[in-house]
């Protein structure tokens, strides 16, 4: 069990010595750096630096108490294990931000990549729609088309328009009510949202996009 706990805490981004100090403090309750160091099997200066790092992560706290002989002293305690959820949420936000940044980088690279004569069609599941939303927010054109009769299907895409406007300076949104089985979103690419499904198709070909736009005129 101990090895499993160590492994899981390491997965949260804690270093081996940070895990040792946190578990030692968890067992001891409020105690001195010296006793925590002894319990963890580490030197006092090392443990003091680790405690500072764990405190910054919200996993430990300090309390100062007045001693009968030596005056005020610092004691430290591990925060409740529930605090580990906060660490996990921070990691999740960081991963999501890295994913969004990666999507923006890929979008920028695609703008420089010559796709003439090539067609790329990809499907996105319900769990992957957020990546498609991020791609849409990086539109290389301010001319946006929303086509379909289901306003709810386009609601989350409307929410991305301010990002495009902020980046490009303006957005020229053209909404067309059409009785089609789903919805179309056209920017420098084309997104098809099939009716009654939470999946989507991305068509990435300049000629096809221009052809569809010409048929809408």
- The highest-level CATH class for domain 2-81 is mainly alpha
How confident is the model at residue 10, as a pLDDT?
75
Q: Do domains 2-81 and 89-216 have the same CATH topology?
A: no
Fold of the domain built from segment(s) 89-216: Endonuclease; Chain A (3.30.870)
Element (H, E) at 50: helix 44-56
How confident is the model at residue 30, as a pLDDT?
82
Give bridge partners of residue 147 from the DSSP assignment: 176, 184
More confident residue, 81 or 145: 145
Question: Alpha-carbon distance 14 to 21, whole Å?
Answer: 11
What are the residue ranges spanned by the domains of the chain? 2-81, 89-216
Backbone angles phi, psi at 121, to 5 degrees: -125, 125
Instruction: Supply the mean pLDDT for the chain.
Output: 81
How confident is the model at residue 116, as a pLDDT?
47
How confident is the model at residue 118, as a pLDDT?
55
**Contact between 153 and 191 (Cβ < 8 Å):** no
B/e letters for 16-42, b = 16+ CB within 10 Å, e = fewer, are ebbbbbbbbbbebeebebebbbebbeb
pLDDT in tens, 160-208: 999 999 889 999 999 988 888 888 999 999 999 887 667 888 988 888 8
């Amino acid at each position: 069990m101990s090895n499993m706990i160590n492994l899981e805490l390491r997965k949260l981004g804690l270093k081996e010595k940070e895990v040792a100090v946190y578990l030692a403090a968890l067992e001891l309750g409020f105690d001195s750096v010296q006793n925590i160091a002894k319990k963890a099997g580490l030197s006092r200066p090392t443990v003091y630096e680790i405690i500072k790092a764990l405190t910054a992560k919200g996993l430990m706290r300090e309390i100062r108490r007045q001693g009968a002989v030596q005056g005020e002293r610092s004691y430290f305690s591990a925060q409740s294990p529930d605090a580990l959820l906060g660490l996990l949420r921070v990691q999740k936000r960081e991963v999501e931000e890295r994913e969004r940044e990666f999507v923006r980088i890929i979008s920028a690279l695609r703008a420089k990549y010559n796709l003439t004569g090539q067609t790329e069609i990809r499907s996105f599941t319900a769990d992957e729609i957020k990546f498609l939303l991020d791609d849409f927010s990086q539109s290389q054109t301010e001319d946006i088309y929303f086509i379909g009769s289901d306003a709810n299907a386009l609601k989350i895409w409307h929410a991305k328009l301010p990002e495009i406007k902020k980046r490009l300076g303006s957005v020229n949104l053209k909404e067309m009510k059409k009785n089609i089985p789903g919805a179309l979103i056209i920017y420098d690419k084309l997104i098809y949202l099939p009716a009654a499904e939470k999946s989507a198709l991305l068509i990435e070909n300049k000629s096809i996009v221009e052809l569809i736009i010409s048929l809408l005129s």
